[in-house]
Structures are given as C-alpha cells and as structure tokens.
C-alpha cells in the first residue's frame, strides 16, 4: 500500500523538518501545500524530500488541504500538521497495510514544554484515497465524498501536537476565518461553536457567550457538542465572576455527557471551594471510576491532580484515613511535584 502524507504550511521553517522526519517509515510521498510562506519553509520542505505545491489559499484551510489530497497518488491519505509528529510511523504503516478499514481515527495529543501530555482527542487522520475531502475555512473537517461513513476505526496511534505560542495575529486571523464560515454556512451549529470557542480563548467572554447561545438555540439535547458548549459557557461565566451560573451550566454539561470526567471534576472543585467537601469527594470518587473517554481526555482529571484534589476534600471533610490513600496515590503518580508530595505530610502528621 502506498501512503501519501499531506500537509499545509505557512512560515513553518522551524518545525516542518521535524514533522516530515517523523513520517519516515510511513510515507511513500509527502505533499506540502504552501499558503504564502515568507521564510524558508518551501526550501526546508524540499530539502526533506517533500513535493511542494505553491499558491494555497491561507483564508481557506479546507481548500488548501484538498489541493494536496487531490494531487496525492497514494492508496492511503494521511494528514499531518507542521507542529505535529507521528508517534509510531512504522507501526501505523503496518496497520494500514493490514486493516480493512476505510478511515482511521488517531489520538491527537498536546505535549507541553515539559514533555507531558495535557489533552488528547480523537481525529480522523487517514483514509483511503477518494473517500474524504475537507470542508470549512477554519477548524476544517473531513467529510465523505459519497456520504458514506462506513468503515471507520478508532486506534491508539498518537500524533504528538507541539504547538508554538499563539501570536495575537493568529487569533485575529482565525476569528476572521470563522466569521467567514458563519456567514457562508448560516444556521450551521458547528461554525457557531468554533467561533464561540475562539472568542473565549481571546477572552472576549460575552461575545463568546452570544455565539454559544446561538449554538444552543440551533440544537437540541444530544447534539454532538452540546456538553462541551455548556462547559465553555461555564468557563466564560466563571471568568466574568458569575460562579452560580457557571456551576449550573456544568450541571447541564454533565447531563449531556455523564461519561466525561471534566464535568464531574470541575463541579467537585466548585463544591470544595465552597466548603461542601463531602459532596465534592463523592463526585470525585464517581469520576475516578469512569473509563477513559474514547474521544476526549483532559489529562488533568486522569493523573495525580485528581487524586490530590480528592485527598484534600477528604482531609477537610474529616476523613483523613481515606484521604491518606489518595494522597499517597497522587504522590506516586507525581513524585517530582513538590506541592503534591508536601500535601501528603498533612496526613502523616509532619505538618
């Protein structure tokens, strides 16, 4: 099976070499669509053996991605961004050679400067040529050419996402694209959601809330991202000092997505802050019993911090013997985190 790795790039000179190097053993060809680089991105991509298509539209990420996809000659299309690295390229190639799947989801995992993962979510990043093309100018998504979603599989292969610090102009550019998407796709909840989220990141909280409300008005319970929208609304209102409203919205998020740890943990943190330690501890115990979400994992609620928060809730609730067990678990998971290690001393009588 021949594999085509397709990328889009603009001013990615410091990163594109590492991205292309990470597909050695997977890619039979690498196609890079450049959307107007003014640095040495094009030269660097060619140096690493990529075929470069110039003239991509930086105002239309889906259109630029589709240029590379249509140009590619492989049996499989694999999508990679310049700030990503494929974790196991040889293993993934073997998987593609043997699977009957038509499209493959992988885990996009954000890696911090400390090398630790912070967030993981599933994305479709590989499919048989001719099956999918992208839509939307920003936060583009692959959609089936013939409206056929059959043959998808979810895997644990990892695309390591190592984004640079986001410059203000990039936020402004993304917001512009999302406003264009909303205008070109009237009534499309997906565009409303991503515009609201981008505005939230830009700390334009009230404007973000306006778009999140439009999303809510356009959807009904069970729609694909209502839980996350409730959570985003809660974040906006918390930043605006409206904690009671934020807590109410987290409760709505939990109703929509009871399997997602974020909503249990964030509510528990609110209750702990308000002195309702027993209620917070009960929610955290329930949360820790949930299986990892197939599509979205906030590592904070799966690691030492979750156990540490539960230990503190139990300590202040007068259940120190039980709390000690969770404090020990937190220290085992994060032996280099001095704050968490020091917290264990409260249970051991050393503080």
Dig out the tokens for 133 from the structure: 């093309």
Spatial distance between the Cα atoms of 128 and 117, rounded to a whole number of angstroms: 29
C-alpha 287/C-alpha 268 separation (Å) is: 10
Nearest 5°: phi and psi at 31? -110, 125
Per the listing, tokens 């032996």 go with 335
Query: What is the reported pLDDT for 279?
Result: 98
Residue 108 has pLDDT above 80, yes or no: yes
pTM passes above 0.85: yes
Per cent of the chain over pLDDT 90 is 90
pLDDT value, residue 339: 93
Question: Mean of the pLDDT values across residues 103-124?
Answer: 93
Mean pLDDT, residues 123-141: 98
Chain mean pLDDT for the chain? 95
CA atoms within 13 A on the CB side of 80: 34
Of the chain, the end-to-end C-alpha distance in Å amounts to 62
Distance (Å, whole) CA 306 – CA 281: 11
Residue 22 pLDDT exceeds 90: yes
pLDDT score of 326: 96
Mean pLDDT, rounded, for 329-333: 96
Express each pLDDT in 32-90 by its tens digit: 999 999 999 999 999 999 999 999 999 999 999 999 999 999 999 999 999 999 999 99
- Tell me which DSSP letter residue 302 carries: G
Q: Is the dihedral of CA 275, 277, 282, 287 positive or negative?
A: positive
- Predicted pLDDT at 50: 98
Q: How confident is the model at residue 166 (pLDDT cuts 50, 70, 90)?
A: confident
pLDDT at 24: 98
Tokens of 341: 């290690």
Q: Tokens 């528990």 map to which residue?
A: 268
Whether the per-residue pLDDT at 294 is higher than 80: the answer is: no
Q: Find the mean pLDDT for residues 164-192.
A: 92
CA distances from 79 to 104, 124, 132 (A): 11, 9, 11
The Cα 77–Cα 27 span in angstroms is: 10
């Amino acid at each position: 099976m021949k594999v085509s790795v397709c990328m889009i790039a603009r001013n990615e000179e410091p990163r594109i070499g590492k991205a292309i190097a990470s597909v050695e053993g997977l890619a039979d060809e690498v196609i890079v669509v450049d959307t107007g680089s003014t640095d040495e991105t094009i030269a660097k991509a060619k140096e690493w053996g990529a075929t470069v298509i110039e003239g991509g539209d930086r105002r239309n990420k889906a259109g630029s991605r589709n240029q590379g996809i249509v140009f590619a000659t492989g049996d499989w299309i694999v999508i990679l961004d310049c700030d990503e690295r494929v974790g196991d390229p040889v293993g993934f190639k073997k998987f593609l050679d043997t699977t009957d799947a038509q499209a493959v989801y992988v885990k996009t995992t954000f890696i911090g400067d400390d090398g630790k993962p912070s967030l993981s979510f599933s994305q479709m990043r590989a499919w048989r040529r001719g099956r999918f093309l992208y839509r939307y100018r920003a936060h583009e998504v692959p959609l089936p050419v013939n409206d056929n979603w059959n043959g998808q599989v979810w895997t644990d292969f990892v695309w390591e996402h190592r984004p640079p610090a986001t410059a203000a102009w990039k936020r402004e550019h993304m917001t512009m694209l999302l406003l264009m998407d909303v205008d070109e796709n009237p009534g499309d909840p997906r565009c409303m959601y991503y515009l609201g989220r981008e505005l939230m990141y830009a700390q334009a909280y009230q404007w973000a809330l306006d778009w999140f409300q439009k999303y809510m008005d356009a959807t009904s319970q069970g729609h694909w991202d209502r839980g996350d929208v409730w959570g985003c609304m809660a974040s906006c209102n918390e930043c605006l000092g409206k904690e009671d409203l934020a807590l109410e919205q987290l409760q709505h998020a939990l109703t929509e997505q009871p399997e997602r740890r974020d909503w249990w943990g964030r509510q528990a943190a609110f209750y702990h802050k308000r002195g309702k330690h027993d209620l917070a501890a009960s929610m955290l115990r329930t949360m820790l019993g949930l299986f990892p979400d197939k599509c979205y994992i906030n590592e904070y609620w799966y690691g030492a911090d979750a156990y540490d928060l539960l230990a503190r809730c139990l300590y202040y609730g007068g259940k120190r013997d039980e709390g000690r067990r969770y404090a020990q678990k937190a220290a085992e998971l994060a032996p280099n985190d001095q704050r968490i290690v020091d917290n264990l001393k409260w249970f051991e009588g050393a503080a």
